[in-house]
Each structure stands twice: as C-alpha cells, then as structure tokens.
C-alpha cells in the first residue's frame, strides 16, 4: 500500500474502512468467479478440440462454440430454449448460413448435445421467415464422451482391397531412371489414414 493510501486510510472512520474492505472483498470474489469460469471454458475447449474427426469436423466444433456463446448471452425460456439470429452467429463463426445451420442439425440430431427448434409463425399469412431457437443437453459438458452411431467418413470414402475388403492399404512410390531402369528410391505410406481393419497385410 502506498504512503498516500495509508494516510487516507488513517483519516477514514472505522465504518468507512469497513465499507471499503467489504467492497474490496466483493470485487475479489467477482474476479475469482470470472477466473474460475474462464478456466472451465478453456478446459472444455481443450476437450472439444480433442474430439476425433470421425465424430466432429473442425467446422462442427466452430459452429458449436459459436452457438454456445449465443445461447449463454440470451435468457432461456420455460423450455430452456434461447432464440438466436443465425445470420449474426454464422458471421461470428466465420461460416456461411447454410454451413452453420447444417452443423447445428448435426450437433442436435447426431450428437444429441444441442436442441434445435424452428418455428414459422407467419406461414398462414404468407410470411415464411423462421425463428430459430436452441437449447443444450447434459451431454454438452463432456466432449470426451461425444459419440455417433456411424463414424464420419472424413476425407472421402476409403478404398479397400477388392479381394479381402481390408482398408489397411499401403501406397508405394518408386523412382526409376528412365535410361537404365535403375531404382533410385522407394517410399511407402498408409493409403487410408486411421484404418481399423484387423486384416494383416501380406
């Protein structure tokens, strides 16, 4: 504490000092809560980033993070839903509206971590504009437990062996001299990344 602060505190009455102390303690408590919230958010993001691509693509994760921020900034109704403006949230996520809405549907229907509700109250009057509301489920807090019935085929369909149908394929690249036919180098690598077949290569 500085000399001026000490002098000021000495001039204050006991009740004023107590009020100042209480305010400082309240401020410390608020900062501790904010710090704990940020720590929890960082831990959740770390777990989200660790979800394998067979369950969530990077695009899905960006959508989910933006959707949760939008949800937390609103006030849930009696059904636990918050109305969001998808055109605003998709810009915040750096995605097109179609991609954002498609990813929301995936998170809701395939992962079961979000609830999604679309209403068109003005359809009878010829107004087809929609109101989008989202909610969260208990699953959302545990990214390490996210699962889907059918793993995503990220990177396109896998090529398999036409004889045994194994997806554990090797790609061999051979560099050959066109003049004398000498083999300069050979290199092999996995053709299907993350292949899980139990067949053995021969």
CB 56 within 8 A of CB 146: yes
Nearest one of 185, 110, 180, 190 to 151, comparing CA atoms: 110
SS3 176: strand
Residue 156: pLDDT band with limits 50, 70, 90 = low
CA angle 6, 11, 17 (to 5 degrees): 80
Question: Is the pTM for the entire model greater than 0.85?
Answer: no
Query: Which band of pLDDT confidence, cut at 50, 70 and 90, is reported for residue 17?
Result: confident
Q: What is the per-residue pLDDT across 32-79, written as a single tens digit (0 to 9) for each?
A: 888 888 899 999 999 999 999 999 999 999 999 999 999 999 999 999
Give dist(CA 89, CA 40) in Å, integer. 22
Q: How many domains does the chain have?
A: 3
39 and 55 within one domain? no
pLDDT single digits (tens) 108-154? 999 999 999 999 877 777 777 889 999 999 999 999 999 999 888 76
Q: Which two tokens stand for residue 100?
A: 């954002």
31 and 4 housed in the same domain: yes
* Residue 133 and residue 65 share a domain: yes
Say yes or no: 134 and 145 in one domain. Answer: yes
Range of the domain at 197: 158-202
């Amino acid at each position: 504490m500085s000399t001026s602060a000490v002098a000021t505190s000495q001039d204050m009455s006991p009740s004023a000092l107590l009020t100042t102390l209480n305010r400082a303690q309240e401020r410390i408590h608020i900062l501790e809560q904010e710090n704990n919230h940020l720590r929890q958010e960082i831990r959740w993001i770390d777990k989200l980033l660790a979800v394998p691509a067979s369950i969530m693509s990077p695009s899905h994760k960006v959508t989910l993070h933006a959707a949760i921020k939008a949800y937390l900034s609103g006030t849930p109704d009696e059904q636990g839903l918050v109305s969001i403006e998808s055109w605003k949230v998709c810009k915040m996520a750096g995605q097109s509206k179609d991609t954002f809405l498609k990813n929301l549907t995936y998170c809701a229907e395939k992962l079961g971590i979000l609830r999604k509700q679309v209403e068109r109250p003005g359809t009878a009057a010829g107004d087809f504009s929609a109101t989008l509301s989202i909610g969260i489920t208990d699953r959302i807090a545990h990214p390490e437990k996210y699962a889907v019935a059918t793993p995503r085929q990220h990177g396109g369909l896998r090529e398999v062996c036409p004889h045994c149908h194994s997806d554990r394929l090797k790609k061999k690249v051979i560099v050959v001299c066109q003049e004398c036919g000498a083999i300069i180098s050979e290199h092999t690598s996995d053709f299907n990344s993350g292949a899980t077949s139990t067949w053995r290569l021969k």
